[in-house]
Every structure is written in structure tokens, then in C-alpha cells.
């Protein structure tokens, strides 16, 4: 699969570095650094487009400016892209109204589109758009990418005697590499502490999602991302966690 990443700064650079290090050997990735200054209204996109782009199957919109979003249909045409992945890790980079417009623009030229909010909610067939709403999609290029990068997925091995984690395999990493980083820090951790530890390490990585409160989640996207990762860890260690019950009217043993 041929990937083309559109970046403007550190957010895109970290994503590209992690993809390049861990992507399948059959993939390739090229990068175009977009301009960072745009007028309020882009009258002629040609003023901001490159003279040419490498051909691609999937366009990755990792830019930190909503002006770049308005260029994506033209960038898709230039690169002959069949699909576009435009994550919403910050509402100011891709507002919800502009995301809806982007889907319409790309649909008219026959290009598939996914706008996961946050990026680490992406699976092979769906992604979050609000706290209670998922969007489904059916595109082989985005799904192939999501087999390896998107919503974190682990295989965790626990010693049943010590109830400590002995190994963590990353089945699907977050695009930024956070899941792989967290996995390394969980080895040797007690299962009862692993979920909390995963959340702390996620923030220390640090997560690149917005720390501003998002209206669609009534929470920060960084916190949403952290909960997605902690849930992935909990799913694996749940059989080994101790459940403590409190019976009203009694005292615990000292």
C-alpha cells in the first residue's frame, strides 16, 4: 500500500515516524509538508498546492491547520488517492462542520473518507465521532491501515500465581506509537495496578490529542484517548483481577 502523509509540524512527524518504523515491508510512505499560513477564505487552492505529488492509495491528513483540509480534494486528485484518513485529534484543526463538508467533497470525486475522533478510535470498520456515536465505513485501504494502526489492541500474558504481567504483545498500535510505549511499561506490573499505570503512561508519552474540552464528548480528547487505551488493557487482564465486595453493616478485618 502506498501512503502519502500531509504534515505541518510535530503531530504529523511523530505519526509518520511510528508508521515508517512498524509498517509492513510491502508498504511505502511519502510525506508532503503543507504551508502553515492561509487566508480566511481560500479563493484559489492552486496557490497552495505543490506542482506534483507521488501516487498514493491512502492519503493521511496529519496537518495542524484547517486550511489544509480544504485542499484535500485537490491533493487526492493530484496523488490519485483512493481514500483519505483525516483524524480529529483537535477540533480547531478539523471542526465538525468542516468534517461533514470534507466527506461530501470527497464522495463527489469517488474518494472514500474517514474522520475518526480521536484517531485512536479507528478500527477496520468504524470509528468514534461523538461519545455515543460511531460511524461505519467500508473501504479496503483505510481498513488495511487500521489492521496495524488505530484503536490499541493487546495480547497480555499474566502469571496466574503472582498475578503479574509477564508479556504484552501489541496487536494494533496507536498511530502515534503510544500503545507500544505503554506495553513496554506494563511488563512486571501487578494486574490490579495495570489499568491505572496504563493511563498514567499514556499521558506521559505524551498523547497528542487535544487537552481542550470537546463538546461532542464533554471531555478532553486526550482523556477519551486514555480511556480507549485503558479499556484495551482491562479487556485482557479482567479474568485475573480481584473483585472486592463490601457488605453493609460489617467491618473489614484489620
Residue range 227-237, pLDDT digits in tens: 999 999 999 99
Looking at every residue in the chain, the average pLDDT score rounds to 93
Query: Rounded to whole angstroms, what are the CA distances from 181 to 66, 93, 104, 120?
Result: 29, 26, 36, 14
DSSP state at residue 173: B
* Whether residue 216 has pLDDT greater than 70: yes
Residues 16 and 138 in one domain: yes
Residues 107 and 217 in one domain: no
Q: Residue 110 belongs to what domain range?
A: 2-146
CATH number at residue 38: 3.40.50.720
| Residue 175 included in any domain | yes
Mean pLDDT of 237-247: 76
Residue range 12-34, pLDDT digits in tens: 999 999 999 999 999 999 999 99
Residues 211 and 126 in one domain: no
Of 90, 29, 103, whose CA–CA distance to 63 is shortest? Answer: 90
| Residue 45 included in any domain | yes
* Whether residue 62 has pLDDT greater than 90: yes
Residues 131 and 46 in one domain: yes
Contact by Cβ (8 Å): 210, 90: yes
Which cell numbers hold the place of 156? 497480555
Helices and strands, number each (H, E), in the chain: 7, 11
Amino acid at each position: 500500500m502506498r501512503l502519502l502523509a500531509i504534515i505541518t509540524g510535530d503531530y504529523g512527524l511523530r505519526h509518520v515516524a511510528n508508521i515508517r518504523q512498524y509498517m509492513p515491508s510491502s508498504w511505502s510512505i511519502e510525506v508532503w509538508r503543507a504551508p502553515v499560513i492561509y487566508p480566511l477564505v481560500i479563493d484559489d487552492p492552486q496557490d497552495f498546492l505543490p506542482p506534483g505529488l507521488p501516487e498514493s492509495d491512502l492519503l493521511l491528513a496529519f496537518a495542524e491547520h484547517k486550511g489544509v483540509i480544504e485542499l484535500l480534494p485537490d491533493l487526492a486528485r493530484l496523488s490519485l488517492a483512493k481514500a483519505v484518513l483525516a483524524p480529529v485529534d483537535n477540533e480547531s484543526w478539523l471542526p465538525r462542520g468542516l468534517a461533514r463538508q470534507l466527506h461530501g467533497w470527497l464522495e463527489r470525486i469517488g474518494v472514500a473518507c474517514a474522520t475518526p475522533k480521536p484517531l485512536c478510535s479507528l478500527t477496520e470498520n468504524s470509528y468514534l465521532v461523538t461519545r455515543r456515536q460511531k460511524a461505519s465505513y467500508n473501504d479496503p485501504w483505510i481498513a488495511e491501515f487500521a489492521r496495524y494502526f488505530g484503536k490499541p489492541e493487546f495480547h497480555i500474558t499474566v502469571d496466574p500465581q503472582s498475578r503479574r504481567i509477564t508479556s504484552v504483545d501489541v496487536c494494533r498500535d496507536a498511530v502515534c506509537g503510544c500503545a507500544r510505549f505503554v506495553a513496554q511499561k506494563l511488563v512486571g506490573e501487578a494486574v490490579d495496578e495495570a489499568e491505572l499505570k496504563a493511563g498514567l503512561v499514556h499521558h506521559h508519552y505524551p498523547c497528542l490529542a487535544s487537552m481542550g474540552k470537546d463538546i461532542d464528548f464533554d471531555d478532553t480528547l486526550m482523556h477519551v484517548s486514555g480511556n480507549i487505551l485503558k479499556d484495551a488493557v482491562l479487556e485482557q487482564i479482567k479474568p485475573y483481577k480481584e473483585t472486592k465486595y463490601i457488605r453493609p453493616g460489617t467491618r473489614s478485618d484489620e
